[in-house]
């Protein structure tokens, strides 16, 4: 039986309301779809980015693999820099055709390498490896780098997602400061915050946006099916509960405020409350559902080692019961979208009626986070 004692021992604080755990590191190219989108008029005048898929992966040896697809483009030049907005164009680090996979070596050490893909027609695209590669926070990653259904791209380096920040090392905190972290939204309960206070750069503005409210910690789970159902029910609560709607209303409003960037939002594992936050933001920006699901499921990869270590500490009889609580699964996220349909009829109505976001709020969100 899985009970409160085991939840505390293995880090699943406030089991029903907190909905902890997950992570991932398998780099997968950005997915693309040609259906549905929300494109503000101000973006329509921008130079169209011709890339339909693109991805940067930092390899164990320090090299970078960059893959892209850009129909109709004959030549792409790749430039590198240590900040997103200051990339040297004196000499490309690689050149390829409209569809290519290349490896860049010998760039040296940096907090984060950025790559600008410059096609022979259309707008350029600037990307970095999604992960920040912090051992103390394996699920801390960029929330951007995805293509919308109408051809825009979600900017990287503006919005980050993570799990627990209480274990960050001094070097990790210094890195976040150099990367320009300005605002942190903590989606956890007060109990979770007290158990593992955030370690952040001095001067970071912190906002508590408790998604779960008061959690019931007296739940006993005796089967894997019951554990999975708990996760499904919790996802629905994030969509329709008063505390969930208030927390996400605040977060999405801040995500569209340029004075908040760079902004990071997190819960304990960075997969459930944080997962719905990313799903809501990306969907509001017009990112296709399959891409949103891809981003959600990445938590299984980034947290794979941590999840395996947690299961190894459990008695064998409890591992199957506990595993659904560590996972992210398509049915979990889908239950959130199902709740949106059941309560509001559409995602646009969820944004307007459930979260109280105005058309002005959504224009700001798209202006802040979209490029191309």
pLDDT at 220: 82
* Res. 61: pLDDT tops 90: yes
pTM above 0.75, yes or no: yes
pLDDT at 119: 98
Residue 47: pLDDT band (50, 70, 90) is confident
Domain 4-26+135-371 - what CATH class? alpha beta
Alpha helices in 132-257, H assignment, sequence order: 170-178, 190-195, 224-240, 242-255
Q: Is the dihedral of CA 205, 128, 188, 294 positive or negative?
A: positive
Give the residue numbers marked as catalytic. Answer: 267
pLDDT at 219: 73
* Res. 32: pLDDT tops 70: no
Residue 145: pLDDT band (50, 70, 90) is very high
**Radius of gyration, CA atoms only, the chain:** 20
Domain layout of the chain by residue ranges: 4-26+135-371, 28-41+51-129
* Res. 11: pLDDT tops 50: no
Torsions phi, psi for 24 (to 5 deg):
-170, 150
* 163-216 pLDDT per residue, tens: 999 999 999 999 999 999 999 999 999 999 999 999 999 999 999 999 999 765
Protein fold of 28-41+51-129: Immunoglobulin-like (2.60.40)
Task: Return the percentage of the chain with pLDDT > 90, whole number.
Answer: 85
* 101-123 pLDDT per residue, tens: 999 999 999 999 999 999 999 99
* Res. 217: pLDDT tops 90: no
Nearest to 123 by CA among 82, 95, 89, 152: 152
* Averaged pLDDT of the chain: 89
pLDDT at 13: 32
* Distance separating alpha carbons of residues 282 and 295, to the nearest angstrom: 9
Q: First CA to last CA across the chain, in angstroms? A: 52
* Res. 71: pLDDT tops 50: yes
Residue 241: pLDDT band (50, 70, 90) is very high
* Res. 60: pLDDT tops 80: yes
* Distance separating alpha carbons of residues 177 and 180, to the nearest angstrom: 5
pLDDT at 215: 61
* 73-85 pLDDT per residue, tens: 999 999 999 999 9
Taking residue 177's Cβ as centre, other Cβ atoms within 10 Å add up to 16
* Res. 21: pLDDT tops 50: no
* Res. 45: pLDDT tops 70: no
Torsions phi, psi for 221 (to 5 deg):
-120, 130
């Amino acid at each position: 039986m899985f009970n409160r004692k085991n939840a505390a021992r293995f880090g699943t604080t406030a089991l029903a309301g907190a909905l902890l755990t997950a992570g991932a590191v398998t780099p997968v190219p950005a997915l693309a779809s040609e259906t549905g989108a929300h494109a503000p008029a101000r973006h329509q005048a921008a130079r169209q980015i011709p890339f339909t898929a693109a991805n940067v992966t930092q390899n164990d040896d320090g090299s970078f693999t960059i893959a892209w697809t850009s129909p109709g483009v004959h030549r792409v030049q790749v430039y590198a820099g240590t900040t997103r907005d200051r990339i040297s164009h004196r000499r490309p680090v690689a050149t390829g055709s409209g569809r290519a996979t290349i490896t860049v070596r010998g760039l040296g050490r940096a907090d984060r390498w950025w790559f600008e893909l410059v096609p022979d027609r259309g707008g350029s695209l600037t990307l970095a490896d999604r992960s920040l590669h912090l051992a103390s926070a394996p699920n801390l990653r960029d929330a951007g780098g995805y293509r919308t259904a109408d051809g825009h791209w979600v900017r990287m380096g503006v919005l980050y997602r993570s799990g627990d920040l209480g274990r960050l090392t001094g070097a990790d905190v210094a890195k976040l400061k150099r990367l320009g972290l300005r605002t942190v939204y903590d989606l956890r309960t007060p109990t979770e915050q007290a158990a593992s206070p955030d370690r952040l750069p001095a001067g970071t503005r912190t906002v508590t946006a408790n998604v779960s409210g008061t959690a019931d910690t007296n739940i006993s789970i005796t089967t894997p099916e019951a554990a999975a159902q708990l996760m499904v029910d919790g996802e629905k609560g994030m969509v329709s509960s008063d505390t969930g709607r208030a927390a996400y209303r605040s977060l999405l409003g801040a995500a569209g405020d340029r004075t908040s960037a760079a902004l990071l939002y997190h819960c304990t594992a960075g997969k459930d409350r944080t997962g719905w936050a990313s799903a809501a933001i990306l969907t509001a920006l017009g990112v296709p559902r399959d891409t949103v699901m891809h981003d959600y499921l990445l938590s299984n990869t980034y947290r794979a080692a941590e999840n395996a270590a947690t299961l190894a500490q459990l008695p064998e009889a409890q591992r199957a019961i506990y595993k659904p609580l560590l996972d992210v699964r398509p049915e979990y996220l889908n239950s959130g979208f199902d709740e949106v349909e059941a309560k509001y009829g559409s995602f646009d109505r969820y944004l307007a009626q459930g979260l109280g976001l105005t058309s002005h709020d959504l224009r700001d969100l798209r202006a802040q986070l979209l490029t191309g």
